[in-house]
């Protein structure tokens, strides 16, 4: 028996279609039902590649007793955060305000107006490590709703008021009064204080690829010769490329490292990470890096095409962290596809080549991961590249017999825009026209399937069928930037016109009335929202500034009598100056755009057409 999620576009929602929980998709109908029954809404937010989402689903949502409580005392709503980033962002702020932390799965309890009054993340089936059991939380929330409704509504009021303060526009600085060169120079200095000089990156464990910050640092060096910026960028890029966070057999990067030394990753592979890092390694090569940059860029591009490319021409969202350890297993394990026991390597490669390869890649008898298994690292270049490549291919072939991680094959507009831009740039730099061709196929999918006749951009499609979720600011911005990259590579004016169309629609749709842009169009259940911080990939605002600056550099004019594209960029940058000054680690794309503004016209290249 299936529930309402069985017809969902999202693979993540479909994973929950056979839960005994009577799930509802996000929308007004669920809140109408909660109002009719006078019960609270339980909102569960996750995504397909999330390990702990799978754990909680197995422990709680597959449990008939838990489902009975959810079905009788709540209206339960399941959301794919990748399909509805506006829902995710709204309730992540509420969760952080209520608990001081956030993460996925995100568990939030709402009143009939969509206001949060209680929240958490993962809850175990039984009390553990100071965490209450999920059942006890459900019971407590239900009793509070029934017996202390005034306190519940008071909590919802307080959270809503606190979050409303965050939505007020900051004081707008005069763009003409801002010294962007000083802002970017100070950011480099501030980043030095957080830089891990031993292992690259910033801060401690868990350590995420600082994709946007590295982009800024490389561009700061290229524009002004800042040696400190180059040192931080190069050390980080090399450490990641040589660590376990990078797939030394098949290419591509995992989401993050659980340790500070890049040894053991959280094994999910995301499209946005790999698109951003492909762009970083490509740019590093452009400004004089050695063969490591070229090899990692090429392997990452090939990974994106071979493992994330979809039949309809786009790029899938992610590969799961978990997979079955072998064909006879019933329970998926984290990292099973990517990790090795030393004895396995010796059995496959033999008594001579096996120890040589295992030692080179840091595979020990004890293991660097769990249960005697190790990730593969390549801390130094092999003394014999031909031998290494031969053995790598043998091990890759052997890995191919393992059960594959699940792929979330939905096409997200923003992330495909990132992939298009990165593949075009890499294809042009490394003279790989097939990468540009793949990017153009993805561009056609976005133009034909996601872009509507009324200039609306829809966020998600799967197997060529587009969903109802509207595009948010990041979708318009990243897709426009991808279209501009395709124009530069192909000289096809259609791509330029489509980018112009998207940017004009973006400004009209997301204008906040105060010189900035909302992240999403406000709706009846969701208030207006804006978060200018770069996180796993560029924020909507910083992506918009980048796309507008590229458009201006290409001579683009926005329709109407408003400010031109470059003036809008300067206004957006002025809004982001406090963020660049206080938290440069979360302002990498803003800072890179500021470098482009201060160092003169952004670099563009337009390929000649056959007829020119």
At 178-202, the pLDDT tens digits run 999 999 999 999 999 999 999 999 9
Instruction: State the pLDDT at residue 611.
Output: 41
User: What 3-state class would DSSP assign to 263?
Assistant: coil
Cα angle vertex 208, ends 204, 214, to 5°?
A: 105
- Asked if residue 218 has pLDDT above 80, the reply is yes
Would you kindly state where each structural domain of the chain is located, as residue ranges?
A: 4-166, 338-401
Which residues share a beta bridge with 75? Answer: 41
| pLDDT confidence tier of residue 612, bands split at 50, 70 and 90 | very low
Beta strands in 25-132 (DSSP E): 41-46, 75-80, 106-110, 116-120
Distance CA(308)–CA(314), nearest Å, equals: 8
What pLDDT score does 51 carry? 86
Of residues 127 and 166, more confidence is placed in 127
pLDDT digits (tens, 9 = 90+) for 293-316: 999 999 999 999 999 999 999 999
CATH number of 4-166: 3.40.30.10
For helices 64-73 and 134-147, angle between their N-to-C axes, nearest 10 degrees:
20
Two structure tokens written together for 91: 């309730």
**Chain-wide mean pLDDT for the chain?**
94
Among residues of the chain, what percentage have pLDDT more than 70?
96
Sole residue written with tokens 């394990």: 333
Name the pTM for this structure.
0.94
Q: So what's the pLDDT on residue 494?
A: 98
Helix, strand or coil, per DSSP, at residue 589: helix
Q: How many CB atoms lie within 10 A of CB 290?
A: 12
Q: CA-to-CA distance for 113 and 509, rounded, in angstroms?
A: 24
| Burial (Cβ within 10 Å: 0-12, 13-18, ≥19) of residue 117 | buried
Residue 70 has pLDDT above 80, yes or no: yes
Q: Which residue has the higher pLDDT, 578 or 130?
A: 578
Residue with tokens 């800072």: 591
CA distances from 553 to 538, 547, 564 (A): 20, 10, 12
- Judge contact between 421 and 375, C-beta under 8 A: no
Which residue has tokens 């993460």?
103
pLDDT surpassing 90 at residue 536: yes
Q: CB–CB of 455/501 below 8 Å?
A: yes
pLDDT of 111 higher than 50: yes
């Amino acid at each position: 028996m299936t529930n309402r999620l069985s017809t969902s576009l999202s693979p993540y929602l479909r994973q929950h279609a056979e839960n005994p929980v009577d799930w509802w998709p996000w929308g007004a109908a669920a809140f109408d039902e909660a109002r009719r029954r006078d019960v609270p809404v339980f909102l569960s937010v996750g995504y397909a590649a999330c390990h702990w989402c799978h754990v909680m689903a197995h422990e709680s949502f597959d449990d008939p007793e838990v489902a009975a409580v959810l079905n009788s005392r709540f209206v339960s709503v399941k959301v794919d955060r990748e399909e509805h980033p506006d829902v995710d962002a709204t309730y992540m702020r509420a969760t952080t305000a209520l608990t001081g932390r956030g993460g996925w799965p995100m568990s939030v309890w709402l009143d009939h107006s969509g206001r949060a009054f209680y929240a958490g993340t993962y809850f175990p089936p039984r009390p553990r490590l100071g965490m209450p059991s999920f059942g006890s939380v459900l019971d407590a929330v239900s009793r509070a709703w029934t017996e202390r409704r005034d306190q519940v509504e008071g909590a919802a009021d307080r959270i809503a008021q606190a979050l409303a303060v965050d939505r007020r526009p900051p004081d707008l600085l005069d763009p003409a009064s801002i010294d962007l060169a000083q802002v970017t120079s100070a950011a480099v200095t501030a980043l030095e204080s957080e830089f891990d000089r031993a292992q690259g990156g910033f801060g401690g464990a868990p350590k995420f690829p600082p994709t946007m910050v590295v982009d800024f640092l490389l561009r700061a060096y290229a524009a002004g010769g800042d040696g400190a910026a180059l040192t931080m960028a190069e050390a980080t890029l090399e450490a990641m490329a040589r660590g376990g966070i990078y797939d030394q057999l098949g290419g591509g990067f995992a989401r993050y490292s659980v340790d500070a030394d890049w040894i053991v990753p959280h094994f999910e592979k995301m499209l946005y990470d790999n698109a951003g890092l492909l762009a970083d390694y490509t740019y590093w090569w452009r400004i004089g890096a050695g063969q490591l940059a070229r090899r990692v860029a090429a392997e990452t591009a090939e990974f994106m095409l071979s493992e994330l490319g979809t039949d309809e021409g786009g790029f899938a969202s992610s590969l799961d962290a978990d997979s079955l350890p072998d064909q006879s297993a019933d329970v998926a394990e984290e990292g099973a596809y990517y990790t090795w026991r030393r004895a396995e390597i010796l059995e496959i490669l033999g008594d001579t080549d096996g120890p040589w390869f295992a030692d080179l890649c840091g595979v020990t008898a004890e293991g660097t991961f769990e249960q005697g298994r190790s990730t593969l690292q390549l801390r130094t270049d092999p003394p014999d590249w031909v031998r290494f490549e031969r053995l790598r291919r043998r091990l890759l072939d052997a890995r191919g017999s393992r059960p594959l991680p699940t792929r979330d094959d939905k096409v997200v507009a923003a992330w495909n825009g990132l992939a298009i831009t990165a593949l075009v740039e890499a294809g042009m730099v490394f003279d790989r026209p097939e990468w540009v061709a793949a990017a153009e196929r993805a561009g056609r999918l976005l133009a034909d399937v996601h872009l509507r006749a009324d200039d609306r951009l829809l966020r998600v499609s799967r197997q060529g069928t587009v969903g109802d979720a509207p595009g948010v600011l990041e979708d318009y911005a990243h897709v426009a930037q991808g279209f501009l990259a395709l124009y530069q590579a192909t000289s096809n004016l259609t791509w330029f016109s489509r980018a112009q169309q998207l940017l004009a629609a973006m400004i009209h749709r997301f204008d906040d009335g105060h010189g900035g842009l909302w992240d999403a169009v406000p709706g009846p259940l969701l208030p207006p929202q804006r978060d200018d911080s770069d996180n796993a990939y560029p924020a909507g605002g910083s992506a918009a500034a980048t796309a507008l600056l590229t458009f201006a550099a290409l001579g683009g004019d926005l329709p109407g009598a408003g400010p031109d594209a470059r003036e809008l960029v300067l206004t957006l940058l002025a809004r982001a100056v406090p963020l660049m000054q206080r938290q440069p680690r979360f302002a990498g794309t803003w800072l890179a755009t500021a470098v482009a503004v201060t160092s003169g016209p952004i670099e563009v290249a337009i390929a000649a057409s056959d007829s020119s």
